[in-house]
Chain A
Amino acid sequence: MPKTKDDRVGLRRLQELLGRLIVAPDGVADGLAHERALPAGGLASLIAGDDRMTAAERVEVYANGYFYRLLDVLKEDYPATVAVTGADDFHNLVTGYLIVYPPTEPSIYHAGRDFARYLDTHPLRERWPYLADLARLERAVLESFHAADAPALEAGALRALAPAQWPALTLRAHPATRLVESRWRVDEVARAVADGARADTTSATPAPDGAGVALVVSRRDTRVAYRAAERGEDVALRLVLAAQAAAPPTLAAICAAIAANVGDAHDDLPASINRMLARWLADGVLMQSAD
């Protein structure tokens, strides 16, 4: 049915044109100036204008809707990043971000997914070297919030085991557990902003000794929390997180990995690991084992 096919090609070209004008970063007028696929009569031959609003002004309503809707979503997803950069710089960041990472998923939840990756190479990192890591922490919190439900491994389950069974116990990370690694204490920045501190009083301190900090994000029921991991804890967390798709590590393997990492620096490694485990159980870091 050739007529229908031609009309659908017409509909496609119309949608592609409007799609380009709506996302044009400098507005519809600028988009039109660079547009090569306009018919001879211009936009007015496609879109009706009247004494109240021209065709371009009508498309501009959608262009503004597109940008400001996504800006609002990203502001909600990254409140600490907004607080650090301020509204004007954040606005410009989002303009650039949407050019490189335009939304493609049905849910607007995914629109800000790549924001930290965008910030990794952005010139603003000269001013705020920790900005991408701060955004990465905020994304991890959001992902944790929406992660799959699963029964958490509880202290009672461990107490029910005989001591001889503990070394072979396999540990799996809960689906809501995340690890964010940074050279900066971006957790302190995020917490200060959440507590209402002004942006100009917050700046991330470098992690001690330049060694980097591992931030544990976990969820208990529906509440998400984050904190800096203890020495050696990051090694253990990497093991339980990396193993989600493959064989989970045993408690014995985790203890060995921590011991190898912290070496003689710990006075009482078993007590330290006990505290770590107790903390994990309380925070819902681990998932109930199928064993």
Chain B
Amino acid sequence: MDWFEAISENFMVAGGRPREVIDTVRGHYPVVMHGVSLSIGSTDPLNRSYLRDLADLARRLEPAWISDHLCWTGVGGRNLHDLLPLPHTEEAVKHVAERIRTVQDFLGRRILIENISSYLTYAESRLTEWDFLAAVAEEADCAILLDINNIYVNAFNHRFDARGYIDAVPAERVVQFHLAGHADHGSYLLDTHDYPVRPEVWELYEYAVRRLGVASTLIEWDDNIPEFAVLAAAAAEARERAARATGNREPARFAPQLSGVASRAASAR
């Protein structure tokens, strides 16, 4: 393994076993923080207490970077504990980008925003999902965590060409990839993170690497978690496929690379 990703909220605890685990891992490996509750697209004010806790955790863990999702997770003070999509409109771009800039100023670093899987789209959307993602990243001057499985899932759920999505992503902003498994529910695919990466998603990953370049790649697995050897094998496959996609003979190294936007993501402004 080259590095690990920690779900930020799981380690915003006072102590005990979670802290023991993350401190031990961090003592041996680089770590990135991946949050699920930033709710960057909500119309509720940003949760300053959460931002302080995020900053405190970052001071302790010294992550290579911090990421969260392009979504909203609740409104009216409630947390729905899910990643809900936004309408793809210019107004939503401005709303989200302004909040990302505020968060980046607060944390003193750029963050990565991840494309989510989704099961609905809005009638008022005027931009494609990929143009929305690119516009938000451009206006906020943030980095992108590109989830290849989510692109595949959304391409099925909303009937678009996954490769066209990848073609439109600004390559210089992509700092990390996610890969994961999903469940087939017939009329829709559900992003469950409880299954091996499907062959079609591996193919899309190779396409993404050819188009966007090699970037640190994480295998996500949140449920029905297999033996570690299975995860390690998946990570090894990602390295080999990335190498194959770029014509290199050696497997790709996925140490968090801090070049270009990535280095700006990690350093203070």
Contact = CB atoms under 8 A, between A and B. Distances in A.
Given A108-B81, A146-B18, A47 B43 contact: no
Given A16-B75, A47-B121, A106-B37, A11 B16 contact: no
Interface in A101-126: 102-109, 111
Given A11-B87, A47-B123, A52-B188, A69 B14 contact: no
B17 A145 contact: yes
Contacts of B53: 106
Report whether over half of chain B's contact residues are helix, strand or loop; otherwise say mixed: loop
Interface stretch (B59-67, B91-99, B172-180, B196-204): B91-99
A103 B9 CA distance: 14
Contacts of A14: 87, 122
Interface residues of A, number: 52
Contacts, number: 130
Interface stretch (A59-67, A85-93, A165-173): A59-67
Interface residues on B, range: 35 or more
A7 interface: yes
A191 interface: no
A282 interface: no
A46 B14 contact: no
A105 B236 CA distance: 37
Contact of B12 (A69, A106, A176): A106
Contacts of B119: 53, 58, 61-62
Interface string A28-54: 000000000000000011111010110
A46 B15 contact: no
A197 to B, nearest CB: 26
Report whether over half of chain A's contact residues are helix, strand or loop; otherwise say mixed: helix
A103 B123 contact: no
A152 interface: no
B224 interface: no
Contacts of A53: 119, 187-188
Interface in A209-256: 219, 222
Contact of A107 (B12, B92, B122): B12
A120 B12 CA distance: 29
A279 interface: no
A44 B122 CA distance: 9
B47 interface: yes
27 contacts: A3-B91, A4-B91, A11-B43, A11-B95, A15-B42, A16-B75, A16-B76, A19-B74, A19-B75, A46-B124, A47-B121, A47-B123, A48-B123, A53-B188, A55-B120, A58-B119, A61-B120, A61-B188, A65-B82, A104-B77, A104-B79, A106-B12, A106-B53, A107-B13, A108-B79, A146-B14, A146-B15
The 7 A-B residue pairs with the shortest CB-CB distance in the complex, in nearest-first order: A106-B37, A149-B15, A148-B14, A7-B91, A58-B120, A12-B43, A222-B17
